[in-house]
Structures are given as structure tokens and as C-alpha cells.
Structure 1
């Protein structure tokens, strides 16, 4: 139809209703899917594209051979093809994810799935392949030593870890929520709790915080920052355990357990001060023995924090607090020592921390032997050279032993760090400074909270209050 301006307008109208086939429309929008995927992963040497025939119709298998066992997966596809009447029936039999878009295909490939595409991109499917075994089997724990308890430990596979918990708690009240977090990589994060035991307010807040995660979670500290403001804090929001029995016990104490894919530890939230003294296997002993062991752990933590400061107080600031005989003994042990008591103590404490760190970092076959022999030889040489006193060697030995009685590697690390400010205060104000430093430490720990739950809580009840 022409108007006065000389332009022609074509108007097309349809009578009736026409329903477009969504699969045909999707095929048109996808275009040449095979070439697009090839270009996307052209620089990945482990990407494969295999061609197979079904009723003379070419189908293409895509994936990463570092994640997929191609031989076994291909054999499985051929077996399914033999029992399928057509290509369409084959795709339906192989998967319930059929005719998906390019983004879903890309994500599936990166997660180790097998993608099958028919000729001319008319059909596609995401298939669960026969994967390569990239995870270690369940073994004994490496960082914890359970006594009178099961000796299996968590592994890197998140589904295996959840299965270890469900194996011990076959109840419908154990709830599991799964998330994918991250910006560059979608890392799986799972949350477990017992319905009716974990506080509802705590569950809602944790879910809200997890949904706010908009960055990659590579470490526990990356996850920590979403559970409350504790910048430059020594204490973590979560208690890490390698033992399924420990995680199960804490679930029954109204806690929430988090699992991060490719991380072989359970992250128990929230962590409290009592967790470093109370271990699940203690309940295998009579009550009196269990309480005695926990008391010893508490004494060990206090000794580890205060003993170096007490030594410096008595030697350099408050020798009059000792009996005459003991004061003379301490004075005689320090004859010929060129350093002040503070410098002498800091040298030995730092040296011990270096030895403990070396034990962790060196290979297990030689680490303990080298560090033990080196520590003994070095300590003996320093005493004979009159660089440190024999009494300080005894003190340092005591703090090494006492620092290893609490549960959790992170807990023992931050206890070791707490003794330094107390040591400095003791060198200035003596016994008074030691007690002031210890009081400030207690106040600092009592001030810590995880989503409203104090760190010094002994119990978390179902309403979310702490006692």
C-alpha cells in the first residue's frame, strides 16, 4: 500500500492463533551450537568432540577428558543407543535435561558433564557421565586423633561428607540446603541442621548471609567475613573439625554445619569457647574422668597464656614475691645471661613457635624427627652458651605441652598469640600487668559474638539464646 509520501508499508495480519514450537524456536536461536562450543574451548587441550552415528544420524559427544572417562561413557551411550528406537528417544532415555541453552551447556561442561548434540543442533542433552575418580577414599583423620571413636574422616567430595553425616543420623529432621556461591567459579556450599533443634532465627540469618555471597570462596576466612564483623580478630566464627562424630555431636547441640566443596572439613557455626575443651569422644569415659580431662584442658590453656608472663614477672619485676630460697635459685640460674628476661623469653617463645610451624610444613616422614632433634640440640647449645637460663627451658617445654591439649588447630594458634601482649605487660608492670592482660583477654573474648550469640556461651538453646 502506497501513501502520499511515496513510501510503501506492508501490513501482515494473521487470522486465528498460531502456536510456535518452542523447540524449533530454540534451535533457530541457538544457531550452530557445535561450532560455538568448539570456539569457546578451542584452547583447552583436554576438551574432546567425538562423532557417533545413530540410524545414520550423526551425534556429537562433548566434554573434558580430564573429568570424564571417555571410553566408559562412550560405551554407555552406545548401549543406550542400541535400545532406543530413534535419536529423540535416545536423548530422552539418556537425560532429563534436553534441549537446553548454550549457557547451561557451558556450565555443564565445566562441571564435568557429558553433552550430546545431534546433527544441525536440533537436539541436545546433558548427561551424567562415568567420571574419573578424582577424590581420595575415606581414610583416617590427619589433623585430629580420635580416641575410642570411629576413625573415618571427611574428604574433599561434598556428597561423601554429607553421606557420612546421614549415615550417623538417619532422621527426617536432618535438613540439607545446597547453594552455589562464587563469581568466577560456582562452588557448592551445603548447610545441614536439625529441624526443631537449631534456632530458627539462626537458620534464617545464615541462609540470608549465604545468599549475599557475591565473591569467590577460596578459604574459610572468605566465608567468615559474611557471618559478622570481626575484622582483624584472632577467633574464627566457625569451628573446623575433620571428624564426622564431632560434627554429628555439635549438630545435636543446636549448631549448623557447613560443607564447602573440595574442603575436607566440616565448618560448625557458631564456634564457642567451650568447643576447644569439650570433645565428643570424652563422653565415652565415665563422667568424672570426662570432667577431669576437660579441666586439664582449661588449665593447659591458662598455663600456655600466663606461664611466660609469670616467669618474666618473677625474674625482672617482682622477685620479692618469691621465697628467699626460690628467688636465689632463679637468680643463680640467670647468672651470665646477657639478655633481659623479656628478650630472653621472647627469643625462646618465638623459636618454639617456629619449630611447631616447621613440624606442620615439613614432610611427615622427616618433619617431627628433624624439628625434635634440632630443638633439643639448639636448646642445649643455648643453655651451655649462657644465652638462656635452664629455668626458661623448663617453662618453654611446659608451654609447648600445654598448648596442644585444646581441640582445634586454630584454637591452639590463637592461644599462642594471646600470650605475647600479656608477656609485654608483665615485663612492665609485673604480676599486676599479667593479671590486667589476662582480664583484658577475657573481656575481649566475652565481647565476641556470632550473629548475636556470644563466643563465651556454654549452650545454645532452641530459641537462639545463649547460656
Structure 2
């Protein structure tokens, strides 16, 4: 609370009305609180004014003893010092009260119900883990993390990013576990690019200075608080965005392709088995399409004569080269995957399953592709989605086309060169001062 000269208060009123007069949800109302008259400025889409006034009237105001609502946990009084700060307070959903004798205060009101409650995750399937998921409310997400990690070493820094559209973010890390150079790198980029607009995840990676074009994501996204806590324990920095129901852990390393933080819930032998399966699926999803073209068209001499004859018979009647054949089926598989994502959940899986079966059977009977290719590419697609996250799978989906084309031109040597190149590419990546081929952000195995 502050008391200003009445002329200053009048200029504040005119400034607010001039700035927001074209906003239909911006209101100015005359209200009475404990017998005192005030002008209330607020956005009706963000503030629940009747509920706020009811609480304030129950508390009451004693002008001699200042405001007595400090004892209410949902109320906080802040003193504005400039018109720009008043603008920012309004846009963040605060309530501004202007009273007599230059009385000005900004109140944290009861907000309109705009966020959903904590629910089960929609895009991830946790096993042997809690079934709560992040929501769009930043404070709720921070509370979920604090509830699961009771530690005085947990550091949470709140920042605002953007100039036209201000976005509130939270920087979370575990002091003493996260490397200081990683924290310094993230904080430096956030400070340098605080004026950049932040509306999408790509904006966030650009603010942090990550490469614009990359085959693999430089972060780990999750809607599970349990997985986010494990990322913090593994030495990563987590960024939460307001009105975004995912947490982003930085930096990502190569082991994140086949290992998840929730693997620690399983016995050690089972954990290593799962990670071995995922590592094998990574190799198969990249190499199987290219290997089919190599052994079928470019270097069939690598096969035993009996197997080479079987492969050749499977393509009997197919009118075009194996490269075109493979690209055709891969394109159909990509269409099925995208249709599954875009269609409504109640009909999507049924339609795509029936369409895939009927289309696969018809295309083989029409002698447009071989039976062996259908088996190879379906195995490649299944292996692709055995990886730890959808974002990791997207990079592998893209790179297998590169492997396929190079293999069709240079044969087995092209396939080997493509695998060597991707390893060199991984070795050249550095995110938040951490090389991508690091085994752990903490410098040791995170699970031990």
C-alpha cells in the first residue's frame, strides 16, 4: 500500500483507462469494502471479484491500523511505484484498488477458475510410479515438485521472459548436485534473451542458444513430477513454463535415448534388460530399411545363396526398384502414425489399425511391394517407438531416410558411413557446456 498525491492518482487512472480501453474484459468498478469506497481496476477474465470482495469485507479495514488482510494466506499487498508496474500487475491477474486521499494498493485476488486440477498423465504411461501429472498452473507444478522432494537444497527461481507477451517461468535445480557451469550457462542465456518472446518450446530452446536444426532434442520433456524429480537428482536443470503442462530438463545426453529416470523403480537386472532392448531398437530402427535395400539390390552377395534366392523371390512381380518400394511403404507408415495422433482418441486406433491391415494386405496382393519389406519396415516402426520418448523417436524417423538413400547409392559401405557420421555428429554436440556423449551429467553413473 502507498499514499500518493491525488493528482498522481488521477494520472494513474487516466493512464490505465487509456492503455486498456479497447480490452473488453478490462473493467473499472466502484466497490465498497468495510464502509470505504474504492475504484477497482481488473480483468474480469482473470479475477473473481465477488469472491475477493467477500473475503475483504469479512476481514474489514481499519485505516488507523493499516490493512488487516496480511494474515490471509491468499492475499498479499504490494506497493506500485510506476504506471508500467501497474500494467504488469493487471496483466498478471492482480486487482488494483484506488481510494480516497491517494490510497493505492495492488492485491492478489481470488482468481477465476482457468486451470484444470491435477489429473492422470495423458501422453505418458508411468509404471510403479505416482499417477499425478503437471497442469497448466505454474504454482501447482512447483507444489507437486516440492511435495515429492522435501529438501532445503531445492532451488526455485522465478523469472519473466518476453516484452509483448510476458511469460512466467521457473528455473529449478538441486544445489550441490547440478554442476555450477550448467546453472551458470542457463541463467546467462535467460538473462541475455529475457526480451525474446516465449510462446513455444522452440522459443525456449532458441533463448537458451541451442541449435535450430538438430536430429535429437537437447532437452527431456515430461508431464510426470516423479520423472522430473529424478532428473533433478541426476543433476539436470528443470524449466517450468506457466500455462504449459510439461517440465523441460536440460541438458539431454546420449543415454537419454534408451534410459528413463523411472527405470530406477525396477530391479537392477530388469532395468539393464530394458535398456539393452531399447538400445537394440535404436540400432534396428535406423538400419533395417537401409539394410533391406543393400541386401536386396546393391550387395546381395553378402547373403547365403539360399537366403538370397528367397529374398529375390519375395520381390517377384514388383515393377520398380527396392528404394522406391521402401519409400512408398515408409510414407504409408508415416501417414498411419500421424493419423493416429490427429484422430479423436475414441476412433483413432481402430481406424488406423483396420486401415493398416487392409492396406498392407491389398498392397502386397497387388504386387506393389514384397511381403519381406512389410515385415522389415513394420519391425523398424515398432523399434522406433520403443525409444524413451516421442521426441527421440522423431529424430530417428528422420535419419533412417538418410541411411536408406545413402545405402541405396553406396551399398554396405554407405550404411556404415551413415552410422559413423551420426556418431561423429553426436560427438560434436555440446548443450549447456555438457558434451552430448557424456554418460552422466553428474560425472558418474546417475543410478549408482
**Matched residue of 2:116: which SS?**
coil
Could you tell me which residue of structure 2 aligns to residue 9 of structure 1? none
Could you tell me which residue of structure 2 aligns to residue 46 of structure 1? 25
Residue pair 1:313, 1:427 contacting (<8 A) in 2 also: yes
**Matched residue of 2:66: which SS?**
helix
Deviation at residue 23 of structure 1 after TM alignment: 4.3
TM-score, normalization: structure 1?
0.89
Deviation at residue 56 of structure 1 after TM alignment: 6.6
Could you tell me which residue of structure 2 aligns to residue 117 of structure 1? 98
Q: Report the CA distance shift for 1:108/1:24 in structure 2 as closer, same or farther (over 3 A).
A: closer
Please tell me the root mean square deviation across aligned C-alpha atoms, in Å: 2.0
Residue pair 1:141, 1:242 contacting (<8 A) in 2 also: yes
Residue pair 1:359, 1:367 contacting (<8 A) in 2 also: yes
Q: Report the CA distance shift for 1:99/1:194 in structure 2 as closer, same or farther (over 3 A).
A: closer
Mapped partners of 1:99, 1:192: distance in 2: 28
Could you tell me which residue of structure 2 aligns to residue 164 of structure 1? 144
Residue pair 1:449, 1:455 contacting (<8 A) in 2 also: yes
Pick one of 120, 140, 150 that aligns with 1:140: 120
Could you tell me which residue of structure 2 aligns to residue 84 of structure 1? 61
Residue pair 2:182, 2:434 contacting (<8 A) in 1 also: no
Pick one of 427, 435, 448 that aligns with 1:454: 435
Whether 2:52 is the aligned partner of 1:36: answer no
Could you tell me which residue of structure 2 aligns to residue 64 of structure 1? 43
Q: Report the CA distance shift for 1:229/1:172 in structure 2 as closer, same or farther (over 3 A).
A: closer
Whether 2:342 is the aligned partner of 1:361: answer yes
Deviation at residue 134 of structure 1 after TM alignment: 0.8
Mapped partners of 2:201, 2:181: distance in 1: 23
Mapped partners of 1:336, 1:304: distance in 2: 27
Mapped partners of 1:29, 1:49: distance in 2: 18
Whether 2:374 is the aligned partner of 1:393: answer yes
Mapped partners of 1:426, 1:359: distance in 2: 30
Mapped partners of 2:377, 2:84: distance in 1: 59
Deviation at residue 406 of structure 1 after TM alignment: 1.0
Mapped partners of 1:217, 1:188: distance in 2: 9
Whether 2:270 is the aligned partner of 1:289: answer yes
Could you tell me which residue of structure 2 aligns to residue 15 of structure 1? none
Q: Map Cα deviations across residues 384-439 of structure 1 (whole Å, 9 max, x no partner).
A: 11111111110111012101111111101001111111111110111121111111
Deviation at residue 91 of structure 1 after TM alignment: 8.4
Mapped partners of 1:193, 1:339: distance in 2: 56
Mapped partners of 1:331, 1:409: distance in 2: 35
Could you tell me which residue of structure 2 aligns to residue 346 of structure 1? 327
Where does structure 1 lack aligned partners over 5 or more consecutive residues?
Answer: 1-21
TM-score, normalization: structure 2?
0.93
Deviation at residue 28 of structure 1 after TM alignment: 3.3
**Matched residue of 2:142: which SS?**
helix
My pick for the range that moved more, 45-54 or 153-162, is 45-54
In the comparison of the two structures, how many residue pairs are matched?
Answer: 438
Deviation at residue 90 of structure 1 after TM alignment: 4.4
Q: Map Cα deviations across residues 53-77 of structure 1 (whole Å, 9 max, x no partner).
A: 4687531112111111122112223
Mapped partners of 1:53, 1:139: distance in 2: 39
Q: Report the CA distance shift for 1:404/1:99 in structure 2 as closer, same or farther (over 3 A).
A: closer
**Matched residue of 1:206: which SS?**
helix
Residue pair 2:9, 2:98 contacting (<8 A) in 1 also: no
Q: Report the CA distance shift for 1:75/1:311 in structure 2 as closer, same or farther (over 3 A).
A: same
Residue pair 1:68, 1:114 contacting (<8 A) in 2 also: yes
Deviation at residue 31 of structure 1 after TM alignment: 3.1
Q: Map Cα deviations across residues 121-180 of structure 1 (whole Å, 9 max, x no partner).
A: x11111111111111111111111111111111111111111111111111011111110
Mapped partners of 1:89, 1:286: distance in 2: 60
Residue pair 1:199, 1:462 contacting (<8 A) in 2 also: no
Deviation at residue 45 of structure 1 after TM alignment: 1.9
Residue pair 1:30, 1:101 contacting (<8 A) in 2 also: no
Alignment of 1:167-246 (within 5 A): 167-213=147-193, 214-246=195-227
Pick one of 131, 145, 151 that aligns with 2:111: 131
**Matched residue of 2:369: which SS?**
coil
Pick one of 244, 247, 265 that aligns with 1:266: 247
Mapped partners of 2:80, 2:264: distance in 1: 55
